[in-house]
Amino acid sequence: MKPLFSMLLCVGMLFGTEGQEVYEKKCASCHQGYIPMSKIKENFLDHNNTLLKLTAPTLNQLSYRLKQRIGDPKGDNDIHRMEVAAFVSEYVLHPDREKSLCLDDVMQYFQTMPSLKGKVTEEELEAVSAYIYDLEKESAEEDSVQYEGFEQALQQAKKTHKIIMIKAMTKDCHFCRKMEREVLVEKEVADLLEKDFISLTIDISTTELPLGLKTELTPSFIFIDENANVLLNIPGSWNKTDFLEILKEAKRKQR
């Protein structure tokens, strides 16, 4: 009994550290470890990557994106882990920029990842995926959930000169749903939103607004230009005519 027991112990211990080991041996030469999102943003947005000189997404960027973009993050966790592991295995063996989840503006600084085919085993990939998945859960979530959605919207706004419209809501907000159903879907409103705005919904009961913005009222509509200036911050539920006026006012304030 005894040898078997100690063997099991070893296996267990192996599993705990193996993912990290694989990362350090086979991924860390390119993918740096945890760097706070604020630093990463500063690096790319203000310094054209001269600050950190990253050659690949950092481990927390990978972890965050994989968890957000692959499969259903809110669904069954075991299934989600499998989906993420499947993506990682596939990507590492057959990297493909088209499949990459990185933002274009960040990707321009990176070469396509070389395939690690033959250099890493299926077991190692599984272990390293789990390691990436579990990485710094708290800190990665804390400074990037949704925020990243805003970041992406901002990138998009810079490219398209559209205005970001943040809809601050909560799930059980009656007037939010009412507006969503009765006003935002109106053709005139929807067309204008589509043409000149990037909409971003933020549930303020679970997620902080970007730029240190605050609002207690839902819905609130916050309009932000491509330079992250707040153009308008308007709480309340509106009818179609008034809401169209608000959109036009935001347009007038945009320069």
- Smallest gap from residue 100 Cβ to ligand HEC (A): 4
- Smallest gap from residue 106 Cβ to ligand HEC (A): 9
Residue from the set 116, 213, 228, 230 that interacts with ligand HEC by CB under 6 A: 116
- Concatenating the DSSP letter of every residue in the chain gives -HHHHHHHHHHHHHHHHHHHHHIIIIITTTS-----HHHHHIIIIIHTTTTT--SS--HHHHHHHHHHHSS-TTS-HHHHHHHHHHHHHHHHHS--GGG--S-HHHHTTSPPPPP-TTTS-HHHHHHHHHHHHHTTHHHHHHTTTTHHHHHHHHHHHHHH-PEEEEEEE-TT-HHHHHHHHHTTTSHHHHHHHHHHEEEEEEETTTSPPGGG----SSSEEEEE-TTS-EEEEEES---HHHHHHHHHHHHHH--
- Smallest gap from residue 32 Cβ to ligand HEC (A): 11
Beta-bridge partner residues of 203 = 169
Sheet containing 230-235: order of strands? 197-203, 163-169, 220-224, 230-235
Query: How many Å apart are CA 167 and CA 93, to the nearest integer?
Result: 40
Q: Does 88 sit near ligand HEC (CB under 6 A)?
A: yes
Pick 23 or 221: Cβ nearer ligand HEC: 23
Q: Does 54 sit near ligand HEC (CB under 6 A)?
A: no
Q: Does 102 sit near ligand HEC (CB under 6 A)?
A: yes
Residue from the set 45, 70, 101, 184 that interacts with ligand HEC by CB under 6 A: 101
Q: Does 52 sit near ligand HEC (CB under 6 A)?
A: no
Q: Does 97 sit near ligand HEC (CB under 6 A)?
A: yes
Pick 135 or 163: Cβ nearer ligand HEC: 135
Q: Does 130 sit near ligand HEC (CB under 6 A)?
A: no
Name residues contacting ligand HEC, limited to 8-27 (CB under 6 A): 26-27
Q: Does 65 sit near ligand HEC (CB under 6 A)?
A: yes
Pick 102 or 211: Cβ nearer ligand HEC: 102
Q: Does 145 sit near ligand HEC (CB under 6 A)?
A: no
Query: How many Å apart are CA 252 and CA 255, to the nearest integer?
Result: 8
- Smallest gap from residue 51 Cβ to ligand HEC (A): 18
- Smallest gap from residue 29 Cβ to ligand HEC (A): 5
Query: How many Å apart are CA 86 and CA 209, to the nearest integer?
Result: 33
Which range touches ligand HEC (CB under 6 A), out of 84-92, 136-144, 186-194, 212-220? Answer: 84-92
Binding site for ligand HEC (CB under 6 A): 26-27, 29-31, 55-57, 62, 65, 88, 91-92, 95, 97, 100-102, 110-114, 116, 120, 128
